Structure 1
Amino acid sequence: MGLLSFIKEAGEKLFGGSSAQAAEPDANTKAAAAIKTYIETQNLGLTGLEVTYTAATGVVTLAGQAPSQEASEKAGLAAGNVANVTSVDNNLVAPAAAPAQYHDVVKGDTLSAISKKYYGDANKYNAIFEANKPMLSHPDKIYPGQKLRIPAL
């Protein structure tokens, strides 16, 4: 799927400390394990998931098998929407499908406004919400810096 960029300060707080403190190999391994566990809690049906994290650069690399392009994209988003992650190199293998677009949430964004921007219809916000579950638990729980998947309709 390739490389996705994220905002380092935004996202789930899965591991403590600054990126400078986490630069040790053992800390990288622990952070990768925390990210892997977080991805696995999304129940995306991934097999053979391997996660590496390099704190010095903030890069997460994913490898393994995904049952669909959607699952692969969601795994990449789950990994990237973690504090101290600047980019995700998503190497998950998935059946070919049309890739989705992505949107970086800014202050004042709502799913309805994002839906209007991409689909021309604010009432199609639920498609964006469903495409980002289980990362999103409610349509109103988005935050600046978060990256969302915008599926093709």
Structure 2
Amino acid sequence: MSLLEFVKDAGAKVLDAVANPADAGRQIRSHIEKEIGVSDVDVQWIEGTVKVSGNAKTQADKERLILAAGNIQGVKAVDDAITVAAPGAASRMYTVKAGDTLGKIAKEHYGDASKYPQIFEANKPQLKDPDKIYPGQVLRIP
């Protein structure tokens, strides 16, 4: 298990009823199913931390699932208990800062700004447009 921290005030507006932990867990699970298409997961909401457990086919699927759960307003951390059927190398995680672009992030991590499509593709469906990222958002850097 690992704990990945997120910016609590950044992210998708998914939660309607954070006062009720069961409702919050269901809302986040529904969001994960919609965004990632993964349904073999259990989601629990514990005072701003999302605990996800279950199975993922690949390391990339696991990382997308964690980011879908974490990049939600009100989530401060994701406690990961996901097992992977086909383990692979883990991606680096990067928290977007004010003024960042995918090109700037690609330049920093790959030494070449024109490699930004690799970051964009690695973060679909979370990212719908390479020009729309926001401070506090956590991205996978493969």
Establish whether TM, by shorter chain, passes 0.5.
yes
Which of 17, 22, 35 lines up with 1:42 in the alignment? 35
Structure 2 SS opposite 1:42 = helix
Moved over 4 A (4+): none
1:1-150 equivalences under 5 Å are 2-16=2-16, 22=19, 27-44=20-37, 46-55=38-47, 58-94=48-84, 95-150=86-141
User: Equivalents in 1 of 2:39, 2:27: separation in Å?
Assistant: 17
Contact 2:102/2:119 (8 A) holds in 1: yes
Unaligned runs of at least 5 residues, structure 2: none
1:33 partner amino acid: R
User: Equivalents in 2 of 1:12, 1:47: separation in Å?
Assistant: 19
Deviations 1:98-140 (A, max 9, x none): 1000110011000000000000000000000000000000101
Structure 1 SS opposite 2:57 = coil
Task: Give the number of equivalent residue pairs.
Answer: 141
Deviations 1:42-91 (A, max 9, x none): 234x3521000012xx1101111101000000000010000110100111
Unaligned runs of at least 5 residues, structure 1: none
Normalization by structure 1: what TM-score? 0.88
Normalization by structure 2: what TM-score? 0.94
Alignment RMSD: 1.3
